[in-house]
């Protein structure tokens, strides 16, 4: 349990809890998977960097509208601007690298490497935050990764820059989660989320402009972008809260649950069949989550 066993934020008391953090992060990753499905639909009509910009800009606009309508605009300004900026930059680099990895590797191979994040968080949490997982907890982290291997059944491909990009993405995401855990209680969730969008939106636009091939979005694309932005906003809000109330090394392994959500969204939206090895991997992942919380 973190040292700040009880705290106040914005006048509302909350009690840190690994169980509550796990529930929140499961919800966050389910929403992120839904956002990925919206992005996949949108990329059929426009380049991926442009889609990233549209979704991020929509998320930022919705956050600003909410803050203005509730008179909480001041909560978007970080009290720790340096920490907020570096976390946002790490997440922006994570996004750019994983998109590059998707272009160079089969999705299964890229996801497999990216899902090293929970293991890296457990190691970094021990080194920088003095968070200690029990032997059962470490077993849960490793079992979860084994479940990902079973679920994805990755192929064997020669090493290239795509593999390095996917690993770099995992490192940057893990570091961003560690920085999030170090954020003081006085820092608002809104400021942490807003700083991400403020950095990511111009970065995505720059990449889209540099890559060329930008297209005029249709009204349907703008609507999907707004939906994706709303889900991105909700997912990051839940992710921030999860890592504020739970220990990073315990909460992070629930990223593996994206395999399960991805299968469900793929079946419902894209008629992608769910194979037996995927179900077996999902079962292993569920067991790993139970072990991590022991």
> Is residue 7 in some structural domain?
no
What total number of domains does the chain contain? 1
> Per-residue pLDDT for the chain (294 aa), expressed as one digit of tens each?
233 333 444 434 456 688 899 899 999 989 988 888 888 888 888 888 888 899 999 999 999 999 999 999 999 998 888 888 898 899 888 887 877 777 677 666 777 777 788 878 877 877 777 777 678 878 888 888 888 788 777 665 576 788 888 889 989 988 988 887 776 566 788 998 999 899 999 998 998 888 877 889 999 999 999 999 999 999 999 998 998 888 877 787 887 788 788 778 878 887 777 778 777 877 887 787 777 766
Q: Which residues pair with 8 in a beta bridge?
A: 13
| pTM score of the predicted model | 0.78
Examine residue 42 and state whether it is found in any structural domain, yes or no: yes
Q: Is residue 253 part of a domain?
A: yes
Judge whether 169 lies within some domain: yes
- Establish if 10 belongs to a structural domain: no
Residue 194 resides in a domain: yes
Which residues constitute the domain of residue 243?
18-292
DSSP label at 185? T
SS (H, E, C) 61-101: HHHHHHHHHHCCHHHHCCCCHHHHHHHHHHHHHHHHHHHHH
Domain contains 3: no
Does residue 12 lie within any of the structural domains?
no
């Amino acid at each position: 349990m973190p040292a700040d066993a009880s705290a106040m934020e914005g006048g509302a008391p909350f009690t840190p809890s690994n169980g509550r953090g796990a529930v929140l992060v499961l919800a966050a990753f389910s929403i992120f998977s839904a956002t990925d499905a919206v992005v996949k639909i949108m990329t059929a009509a426009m380049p991926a960097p442009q889609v990233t910009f549209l979704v991020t800009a929509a998320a930022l606009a919705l956050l600003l509208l909410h803050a203005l309508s509730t008179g909480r605009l001041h909560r978007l300004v970080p009290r720790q601007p340096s920490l907020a900026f570096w976390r946002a930059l790490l997440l922006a680099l994570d996004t750019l690298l994983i998109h590059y990895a998707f272009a160079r590797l089969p999705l299964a191979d890229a996801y497999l490497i990216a899902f090293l994040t929970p293991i890296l968080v457990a190691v970094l949490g021990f080194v920088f935050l003095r968070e200690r997982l029990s032997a059962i907890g470490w077993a849960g982290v490793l079992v979860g990764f084994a479940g990902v291997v079973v679920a994805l059944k990755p192929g064997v491909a020669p090493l290239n820059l795509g593999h390095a990009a996917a690993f770099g993405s995992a490192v940057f995401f893990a570091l961003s989660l560690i920085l999030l855990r170090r954020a003081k209680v006085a820092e608002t969730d809104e400021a942490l989320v807003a700083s991400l969008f403020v950095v990511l939106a111009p970065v995505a636009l720059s990449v889209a402009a540099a890559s060329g091939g930008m297209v005029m979005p249709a009204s349907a694309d703008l609507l999907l972008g707004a939906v994706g932005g709303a889900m991105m906003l909700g997912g990051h809000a839940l992710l921030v809260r999860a890592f504020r109330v739970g220990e990073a090394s315990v909460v992070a392994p629930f990223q593996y649950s994206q395999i399960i959500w991805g299968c469900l969204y793929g079946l419902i939206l894209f008629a992608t069949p769910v194979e037996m090895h995927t179900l077996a991997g999902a079962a292993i992942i569920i067991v790993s989550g139970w072990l991590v919380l022991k």
